[in-house]
């Protein structure tokens, strides 16, 4: 009886391990696909932003804004914020600080 219980426990452990492995593979595939979509989106968005002259002209203003913790707001930066929020829906939810940092990262 005791031996059959041990065999059953080992079999159950192996089945559970296989199920966890399949779940791990499925989860990792989902994550990889999501990251791939995010990278493609980010790459396309970054390229589009770099092509916007108003945004690139605001780099100095963005640097001043970030360095002053939002106290210095130049006209070119305000124009860039408006252009970004008009062009990219996700930018509408972003803070001015995040947008300024994005401009600097380009």
Kindly report the average pLDDT of the chain as a whole number. 73
Is 69 in contact with 31 (CB distance < 8 Å)? no
pLDDT score recorded for residue 52: 83
* Letter string b/e over residues 72-104, b meaning 16 or more CB atoms within 10 A of that residue's CB: eeeebbeebbebbeeeeeebeebeeeebbebbe
pLDDT score recorded for residue 7: 56
Confidence of residue 25 (pLDDT cuts 50, 70, 90): low
Higher pLDDT, 7 or 93: 93
- Cα dist. 85→52, 54, 80, 105 in Å? 13, 13, 8, 17
pLDDT score recorded for residue 47: 58
Token reading at 16: 């559970």
Q: How far, in Å, CA of 33 to CA of 69, rounded?
A: 37
Confidence of residue 39 (pLDDT cuts 50, 70, 90): very low
pLDDT score recorded for residue 12: 52
- CA torsion through residues 100, 71, 61, 73, sign: positive
């Amino acid at each position: 009886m005791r031996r059959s219980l041990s065999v059953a426990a080992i079999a159950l452990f192996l089945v559970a391990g296989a199920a966890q492995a399949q779940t791990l593979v499925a989860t990792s595939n989902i994550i990889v696909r999501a990251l791939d979509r995010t990278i493609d989106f980010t790459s396309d968005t970054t390229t589009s932003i770099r092509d916007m002259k108003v945004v690139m002209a605001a780099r100095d203003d963005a640097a001043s804004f970030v360095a002053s913790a939002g106290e210095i707001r130049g006209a070119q930066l305000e124009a860039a914020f408006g252009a970004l929020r008009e062009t990219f829906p996700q930018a509408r939810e972003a803070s001015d600080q995040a947008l300024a940092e994005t401009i600097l990262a380009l």
